[in-house]
Amino acid sequence: MAQPIDYSLIFRYHLRENERGKRMRTFNYSVIKEQKWDSDVLGLIAAIYKEAGKQELYLKQRPEELEKLVEIAKIQSTEASNAIEGIVTTSTRIRQLVEEKTTPRNRDEQEIAGYRDVLSIIHESFDAIPITQNYILQLHKILYSHMNNPLAGRTKATQNYITATYPDGHVETLFTPLAPYETPEALDRICEEYNRVIGNMELEPLIAIPIFIHDFLCIHPFNDGNGRMSRLLTTLLLYRNGFYVGKYISLEAKIAKNKDLYYDALAQAQTGWHEGIEDVVPFIKYLLGTILAAYKDFEDRVALVETKLPALEMVRRASKNRIGRFNKQDIRELCPTLSDSSIEGALRKLVAAGELKKEGRGKNTCYFRLN
């Protein structure tokens, strides 16, 4: 039977006086290794390692066929992570921007192009990007490289707040991050702690990563771009520890699809953070669950890619993986080796055969199974 969680071990952070007389948080990730985790956390970690092992075999056997998954994941990640923050454009423009076939037309597209650039750097050079404040600031600067933002690549100059705006218009402060003068030192400390416990193999990476990301979000080091940077850093940390699922399946799209769960887990974990008595376990479970779900999606998509089926049968099987209504883009994600015309032709045949029902027209066209 799993041991009960002793949160005092996880969050035995020390507080010290700074020159202004206010108690500042410091961080000691070593104490986390003493923790006895519950069966949910241990089960998620074991399942992720199992799926990562299976993915490694797939990549060795059919690397060329999986490359199309990479391009789809880049587009989805760029679109979803920006959409979470209310930064949007059309699907066509997203695709063109990610494929660098066009230039940004407005502020939203400038921010989307910046995310694309940082994600590409992480994809190509993750093993050459150390986890330090300097590199995090450089990535943040690249995030805003397509626009004139004087705060790009700098920690926040003014106090920021995590707020909620309600239908009646009133705004509530949910969490107050660290003050600007505390931020550079805190960012240095979490980088040092993470690097130490990973470098010494003191702590399981799948525990260290969510804890680092959670601390990063509580520090909220920038005046803008914290959410996007946290998701980019999640991908970077996973890659550096041998978990490459985000290259083929968009973690950001998973988060965006259930963003209420993301915010709920974060809110639960932030309570008591300043005092060092927070319970970060909900956020750990949320992030590990998201990673595992992405690995499961990868397995489903590979099953379709590797069987070398005719287009009609591939689309038929893909449609059977969908519950409720779906569109051509949903099938494209599951069948990355097929061209748009092959997908459209297969869908027409399945509709004619009475296997699928078609609704709507143009961009609003969708399908659902009849049997």
Please provide the size of the chain in residues: 371
Angle of CA points 234, 237, 242, to nearest 5°: 120
Q: Per-residue pLDDT for the chain (371 aa), expressed as one digit of tens each? A: 444 444 444 444 444 444 444 567 889 999 998 888 999 999 999 999 999 999 998 888 777 778 878 888 999 899 999 999 999 998 889 989 999 999 999 999 999 999 999 999 999 999 999 999 999 999 999 999 999 999 999 999 999 999 888 888 888 999 999 999 999 999 999 999 999 999 999 999 999 999 999 999 999 999 999 999 999 999 999 999 999 999 999 999 999 988 899 999 999 999 999 988 899 999 999 999 999 999 999 988 887 766 678 999 999 999 998 889 999 988 887 887 788 899 999 999 999 999 999 999 988 999 999 98
CA distance 156 to 219: 10
CA distance 346 to 362: 17
Decide if 351 contacts 367 (C-beta within 8 A): yes
CA distance 305 to 228: 31
User: Which of left, alpha, beta for 101 (phi over 0: left; psi -120 to 50: alpha)?
Assistant: alpha
Please give the single-letter amino acid code of residue 54. K
Q: What are phi and psi of 162, to 5 degrees?
A: -100, 115
CA distance 317 to 309: 10
Residue closest to 231 by CA, chosen among 119, 91, 94: 119
Write down the residue that tokens 């520890």 correspond to: 241
pLDDT at site 22:
55
Whole-number Cα distances in Å, 173 to 160, 165, 166, 170: 10, 9, 11, 10
Domains by residue range for the chain, with CATH? 41-303 (1.10.3290.10), 309-369 (1.10.10.10)
pLDDT at site 54:
92
State the first-to-last Cα distance of the chain, in angstroms, to the nearest integer: 43
CA distance 235 to 206: 12
Angle of CA points 174, 217, 254, to nearest 5°: 95
pLDDT at site 23:
66
* Token pair recorded at residue 215: 């601390």
Please give the single-letter amino acid code of residue 268. Q
* Token pair recorded at residue 100: 């660098």
Distance of CA 201 to the CA centre of its chain: 24
Q: What is the DSSP string of 60-112?
A: HH-HHHHHHHHHHHHHHHHHHHHHHTT----HHHHHHHHTTSS---SHHHHHH
pLDDT at site 167:
82
